[in-house]
């Protein structure tokens, strides 16, 4: 859809925060993007953003 309503954003896990301390910090973590074509791509690992 062209516009996402609150219910759709909630179901997709949409984050509306302007500050993302949950992603950028020193804790060990892996962040994975779920792409529209079904692929999963690691975008952040071991404190660094990963480039494709």
Domain ranges, ordered by start, for the chain: 20-52
For the chain, the average pLDDT equals 83
Residue 23 has pLDDT above 80, yes or no: no
With bands split at pLDDT 50, 70 and 90, how would you rate the model's confidence at 47? confident
> Cα–Cα distance between 34 and 37 in angstroms, integer?
8
Residue 29 Cα distances to 8, 11, 37, 43, 47, angstroms = 26, 23, 24, 11, 7
Q: Can you read off the two tokens belonging to residue 16?
A: 């509306």
2 vs 5: which has the higher pLDDT? 5
């Amino acid at each position: 859809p062209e516009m996402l309503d609150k219910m759709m954003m909630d179901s997709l896990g949409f984050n509306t925060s302007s500050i993302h301390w949950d992603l950028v910090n020193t804790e060990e973590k892996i962040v994975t993007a779920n792409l529209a074509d079904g692929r999963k791509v690691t975008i952040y690992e071991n404190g660094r953003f990963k480039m494709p």
